[in-house]
Structure 1
Amino acid sequence: MAKVLVLYYSMYGHMETMANSVAEGARSVAGVEVDLKRVPETMPEDVAREAGAKLDQAAPVASPEELANYDAILFGSPTRFGNMTAQMRNFLDQTGGLWFQGGLIGKIGSVFTSTGTNHGSETTITSFWNTLAHHGMLISGLPMKDPRITNTEGPRGSTFYGAAMIAGHEHNPDPEIDLAMAKLQGQHVAELAVRLANSQIDAEATAAD
């Protein structure tokens, strides 16, 4: 059984919606156990509420140490000036012990996001990959398994790097396409996790012979 974690930060609920779609896609794959968790909010509660943050999210809060328990992790973070949020950065900065132990080497890592502008997702995802590479993770983007990823009619969030939603954009013609891309990304990564787990089982069986 391959274990997949969908780990996200969401301030206003857009990434929570995306993460649920990613998890739905991952759960559609046989032989996969999927957990949906979020990183802690770092703003004081009164400040977050005044800013309109959505604090009543159902997903439990994750701890950095438990990342090593999974075969694949899909990270979700909104865009902040072309980068991940401070909340996600703070969480990842606590994974130094995992890095030292090599706890994430060979595991699959993938990133999805939300953005307020067209193309705003691209640098957020690709800059996020730097951290995954330092951990020795196998990075997965979003392949063209669905031709809608190349849709050019109006603003579009998702790219070959990963699924993305243009949050609150009044001219986004069909946000359901980006949610479909999020589901597809979850399915794709889960399929990779199963293949990787099966190859490791085969290798161990061959070594035992």
Structure 2
Amino acid sequence: MPKVAILIYSVDDTIAKLAENEKRGIEIAGGEAEIFQVPDVSYRNENGGEEDRSKLGKTNADFAYKILTRETLVEHDYYLFGIPARFGNFPADWKTFWDSNTGGLWAKGSLHGKIAGLFVSGAISGKGDTEMCIMNAMSTLVHHGIIYVPLGYKNAYKELTNTDDVNGSCAWGAGCVSGVDGGRSPSVSELKVHQLQGKAFYDRIKDL
């Protein structure tokens, strides 16, 4: 049975909630998944000082998930990445993890041929920020030779085309509109799309 590693970075509960629903979708399809959290990094603010992490959101200590390591990537063949969009790209913690831990894996081709999907959260309604985040993340996947599986429309057409409800999902991957302050909780519709993505992703890989 393929085991999916759901790899996330969450500064509040949003991405974690989305990840739990992706996991639930995989389980509905008869699969197994485990959630891993990207390591925290320390920031330097614009004045050169250290940021107070308590003001930036939750840290690894606030979640029960295991910490993502390079070994996690090697040991699993299937990934779902949960990324909070930051100016249409990875947040610093995500980028730092890839830059600091995967150069050797890239040189050896250790991740080549592994399979991944992506889900995201963004501050505002509209697909630009979240779609761009997934597109930018594609560069990392391509350089490692990781095969990308999009959400598409087949399995979530009703939710993706419904104009009566805010839904941060798109054909590139499931998503969520979290609000400028991160205070908006994922809607029932958004959580459903994440379950649908988890199920569709597992259905795609289970016979490989």
TM-score bracket for this pair, using the shorter chain length: 0.7 to 0.9
The residue number in structure 1 matching 2:47 is none
The residue number in structure 2 matching 1:7 is 7
The residue number in structure 1 matching 2:40 is 41
Q: Secondary structure at the match of 1:195?
A: coil
Q: Is the 8 A contact 2:159 2:167 kept in 1?
A: no
Q: Is the 8 A contact 1:4 1:193 kept in 2?
A: no
Which aligned runs of 4 or more in structure 1 are off by greater than 2 angstroms?
A: 43-46, 50-55, 153-156
Q: What TM-score, normalized to structure 2? A: 0.85
**1:133 pairs with 131, 142, 154, which one?**
142
Which residues in structure 2 correspond to 1:111-122 (within 5 Å)?
111-118=118-125, 119=127, 120-122=129-131
In the superposition, relative to structure 1, how do residues 46 and 90 fare at CA in structure 2: closer, same or farther (>3 Å)? Answer: closer
Could you tell me how far 1:179 is from its partner in structure 2? 1.0
Q: Is the 8 A contact 1:79 1:124 kept in 2?
A: yes
Could you tell me how far 1:33 is from its partner in structure 2? 3.0
- For these two proteins, the number of residue pairs brought into alignment is 194
Q: Is the 8 A contact 1:65 1:95 kept in 2?
A: no
Q: Is the 8 A contact 2:151 2:173 kept in 1?
A: yes
Q: Is the 8 A contact 1:40 1:61 kept in 2?
A: yes
In the superposition, relative to structure 1, how do residues 148 and 105 fare at CA in structure 2: closer, same or farther (>3 Å)? Answer: same
Q: Is the 8 A contact 1:82 1:121 kept in 2?
A: yes
**2:132 pairs with 108, 112, 123, which one?**
123
Over aligned residue pairs, what C-alpha RMSD do you find? 2.2
Q: Secondary structure at the match of 1:74?
A: strand
Could you tell me how far 1:154 is from its partner in structure 2? 4.7
Gaps of at least 5 residues in structure 2 are 44-49
In the superposition, relative to structure 1, how do residues 195 and 117 fare at CA in structure 2: closer, same or farther (>3 Å)? Answer: same
